[in-house]
Amino acid sequence: MYDSIRGTKDILPEESKKWEFLERTIREVARLYNVQEIRIPTFERTELFYKSTGEDTDIVQKEMYTFTDKGGRSLTLKPEGTPGVVRAFLQYSLHKKRPFHKLFYIERMFRQERPQKGRYREFYQFGVEIIGSASPLVDVELISMVMNILERLGIKGTYVRVNSLGCDKCRPDYRKALKEYLKGKLPLLCENCRRRYETNPLRILDCKVDAENLTDAPRMIDFLCDECKEHHRIVIDTLKSLNIPFKEDPTLVRGLDYYTRTVFEFIHPSLGAQDSIGGGGRYDTLIKSMGGPDIPAAGFAMGMERMLLAMGDREIEEEKPVVFFVALGDDAKRLSFNLLEGMRKAGVKADMDYIGRSMKAQMREANRLGALFTYIIGEDEIKKGIGILKNMDTGEQMNVPMDVEEIKRRIS
Per-residue pLDDT tens digits for 63-93 = 999 999 999 999 999 999 999 999 999 999 9
| Amino acid 195: pLDDT | 81
| 176-227 pLDDT, tens digit each | 998 888 888 788 888 878 888 887 888 788 777 777 778 888 899 999 999 9
Which are the contacts of 2, defined by CB distance < 8 A and separation ≥ 6?
Answer: none
**328 and 254 share a domain?**
no
Say if residue 368 carries a ligand binding annotation: no
- Looking at the domain assignment, is residue 317 inside a domain? no
Specify the range with the lowest mean pLDDT, choosing from 201-215, 269-283, 337-351, 390-404: 201-215
Q: By C-alpha distance, which of 267, 304, 270, 301 is closest to 9?
A: 304
pLDDT at 257 > cutoff 80: no
Say if residue 84 carries a ligand binding annotation: no
Number of domains in the chain: 2
Say if residue 259 carries a ligand binding annotation: yes
**398 and 278 share a domain?**
no
**374 and 240 share a domain?**
no
User: What's the mean pLDDT in 221-239?
Assistant: 97
Say if residue 125 carries a ligand binding annotation: yes
Last residue of a domain, one of 311, 338, 373: 311
Which H helix or E strand runs over 341?
helix 330-345
In sequence order, the β-bridge partners of residue 300 are: 128, 280
**87 and 232 share a domain?**
yes
**159 and 228 share a domain?**
yes
Say if residue 261 carries a ligand binding annotation: no
Buried/exposed code over 149-159 (b: 16+ C-beta within 10 A; e: otherwise): bbeebebeebe
What does the mean pLDDT of the chain come to? 93
User: What's the mean pLDDT in 124-149?
Assistant: 98
User: What's the mean pLDDT in 89-104?
Assistant: 97
CA distances from 91 to 139, 170, 206 (A): 25, 31, 33
Say if residue 180 carries a ligand binding annotation: no
Say if residue 108 carries a ligand binding annotation: no
Q: By C-alpha distance, which of 208, 19, 184, 42 is closest to 110?
A: 42
**23 and 112 share a domain?**
yes
- Looking at the domain assignment, is residue 379 inside a domain? yes
**Which residues constitute the domain of residue 85?**
13-170+224-311
pLDDT at 255 > cutoff 70: no
| 353-363 pLDDT, tens digit each | 999 999 999 99
Say if residue 374 carries a ligand binding annotation: no
**85 and 118 share a domain?**
yes
| Amino acid 196: pLDDT | 81
pLDDT at 345 > cutoff 90: yes
| 8-20 pLDDT, tens digit each | 999 998 899 999 9
Q: By C-alpha distance, which of 244, 263, 262 is closest to 254?
A: 263
**138 and 21 share a domain?**
yes
| Amino acid 209: pLDDT | 73
pLDDT at 166 > cutoff 90: yes
**301 and 333 share a domain?**
no
**275 and 332 share a domain?**
no
**300 and 339 share a domain?**
no
CATH (domain of 382): 3.40.50.800
CATH (domain of 37): 3.30.930.10
The verdict on pTM exceeding 0.95 is no
CA dist., res. 308 & res. 196, Å (int): 34
| Amino acid 206: pLDDT | 77
- Looking at the domain assignment, is residue 165 inside a domain? yes
| 300-344 pLDDT, tens digit each | 999 999 999 999 888 888 888 999 999 999 999 999 999 999 999
**337 and 302 share a domain?**
no
Say if residue 129 carries a ligand binding annotation: yes
In this structure, what DSSP letter does residue 62 have? Answer: I
